[in-house]
Amino acid sequence: MEEPVPPAATVSSPAELALEGKAPNDIETRSRGLSVGTTYSTANNSLSPSSTNQSSSSSFVSTVSTKASDSNLNQRQNEFEKNFTKKIEEEPITAFGADSVEYENFVLPDDHMTILATQAADLQAAILVHGRICLTRYHVCFRSNIIGIITMKVHALSNITSVKKGTTAKWIQNAIYLKVLEVDEDGQEVERDYNYGSLRFRDMLYDSVMECWKIRAPQRYEEFMKKEAIENGEELDDGDDEEDDVGVTSADGTTAPAIKKTSGSGEHYQELALNVKVPLELDQVYNLLYHNRDFTTDFYTNEKKLTELKISQWEDEPGTGNKRRTLNYVMHMNNTIGPKSSNCNGIENIVIADPEKAYEIVSETQTPDIPSGKSFKIRTRTCLTHDSLHHKQATKIHCTTQVDWSASSMLKSTITPAVIKGQKEHHRQLLEFMTNWVKQHPDDFKGVDSSQVEVKHETEVEHRPEMDTVNEKVGKTIMGHAREIPENPVMLVITVMFAVLLFLYIK
């Protein structure tokens, strides 16, 4: 049985050493590791546990995946030290949390050259520059050697301001985008973009970079995460409706009940599909969306144009006691190629049903008749909570979604963004249909002025241009793809190679 990996060695900053009464030169010597959590002993060529000094930096060890690293890491480590030692030592000492004036004799931590993860990568510049990206505790480094032309980049984690997942050739999801603060020729600090693509294990390397960045630059990491949370609709209440929390006294002396605000479990999926407030009571929204069969049938058949709709009754789910129902229907598509329709099998589970706090419903849908349809499922989590709107009781609807793949597929990078875009459009249609339904059925919603049913969008759902690009590519003709070749270096190279091979074959 494989033994558990011990915590990785950590190095105190010069400031911490000063507090402990130690000089920077007194840093304990540590062997450079072969992989995370172990160190390589040159004396006996064996692996031994790292130092057991505990600090916040040891928490990331478990998240740095071995799949994100090259299998021959020992050789990569030697090559990295040979090429980058002088380059990294020339970097500003502030990258390691020290003042270059106060610590002129500062000795770099011994583990500053230890590779934690490495992969083949492309630097996305005017042309793709193929090389290798390496992650240490303090830097993200890239090196390329193409016919003697060497390209080297060293990004201190403490200077990084943004780390995002990206794409190569507009739609292949295998890239990481970095924003790094650098000093330009005029001595001004500027933010530059560096995009690295062709990463085989992009998500694993991304997680590793994020964990290391969190330790080296916690303040910039927190600022970035807060900005991302706001963009994803997870921002806190701005306080504009703070007075709604207390009872309001009317002219006749009566006090209206205090407006209730609650929050859900906090569990969300990756993509925001809907985040709005509607001027309806919580139970009114819940019953309309999940217990009004006329509403559901009308929406799916007349608005969505689905056929063969079958909706089961709510039943207790074995083992959990949650309510569950199934939805089966046929979805029709306007694809120029491929299937024109597909059976859809959906399941809805009410995982939280508390009228005083929240209702949360998790749905799961599969479309087995489309290409790779049996390899992924579409999951959606809808959270309904008490909130306020225009000083009156309201309901907040927060929907998130994601696509979970159970098997690899060449169409994954095409299908995933197209499905996410479809989910966002579905929820937009559902919201519009719901508001129109309330206006057309005023007797069913007591205490609600149907003529003034307004929806407040807490966060506008992010529109991604690449999703439009993906959908355009699905239905494009050959000539349509041909027009894009001059704009895409990868497609241009492939086209030229294909033309040369075709010419040689004809000859």
> For 233-265, what is each residue's pLDDT tens digit?
554 444 444 444 445 454 555 555 678 888 888
pLDDT at 462: 55
Q: Which carries the bigger pLDDT value, residue 232 or residue 38?
A: 232
H-run or E-run covering 316: strand 315-316
> Computed from CA positions of residues 154, 157, 158, 164, in that sequence, does the dihedral angle turn out positive or negative?
positive
Given a cut of 70, whether residue 391 has pLDDT beyond it is: yes
Pairing of strands 139-146, 189-197: unpaired
Alpha carbons within 13 angstroms on the beta-carbon side of residue 420 total 23
Dig out the tokens for 111 from the structure: 């583990």
Note whether 389 and 279 are within 8 A (CB).
yes
Q: Which carries the bigger pLDDT value, residue 181 or residue 253?
A: 181
pLDDT at 496: 81
Q: Which carries the bigger pLDDT value, residue 207 or residue 242?
A: 207
**E strands, 101-168, where?**
117-124, 128-135, 139-146, 149-156, 160-168
Q: Which carries the bigger pLDDT value, residue 120 or residue 31?
A: 120
CATH code: domain 14-229 is 2.30.29.30
The pLDDT confidence band at residue 446, using thresholds 50, 70 and 90, is: confident
> Computed from CA positions of residues 420, 423, 425, 431, in that sequence, does the dihedral angle turn out positive or negative?
negative
Burial of 347 per CB tally in 10 Å (0-12, 13-18, 19+)? middle
Given a cut of 60, whether residue 10 has pLDDT beyond it is: no
Q: Is it true that domain 258-471 has CATH number 3.30.530.20?
A: yes
Mean pLDDT of 461-475: 47
Given a cut of 60, whether residue 31 has pLDDT beyond it is: no
pLDDT at 63: 40
405 Cα distance to chain centroid: 15
Burial 116-151 (b: 16+ CB within 10 A, else e): bbbbebbbbeeebbebbbbbbbbbbbbbbeeeeeee
pLDDT at 98: 57
- Which one of 69-78, 98-107, 448-457, 468-477 scores highest in mean pLDDT? 69-78
Alpha-carbon distance of 349 to 106, in angstroms, equals 59
pLDDT at 296: 92
Give the residue ranges of DSSP H helices in 35-171: 73-89
Q: Which of 134, 135, 192 is nearest to 143 (CA)?
A: 134
Mean pLDDT of 165-177: 82
Q: How far is CA 201 from CA 67, 80, 173, 243, in A?
A: 7, 20, 10, 50
Q: Which residues pair with 457 in a beta bridge?
A: 276
Q: Which carries the bigger pLDDT value, residue 2 or residue 364?
A: 364
Q: Express each pLDDT in 283-312 by its tens digit.
A: 999 999 999 999 999 999 998 888 999 999
Mean pLDDT of 113-133: 87
The ranges assigned to domains in the chain are 14-229, 258-471, 477-506
Note whether 170 and 95 are within 8 A (CB).
no
Q: How many residues does the chain have?
A: 507
Given a cut of 70, whether residue 319 has pLDDT beyond it is: yes
Q: Which carries the bigger pLDDT value, residue 206 or residue 186?
A: 206
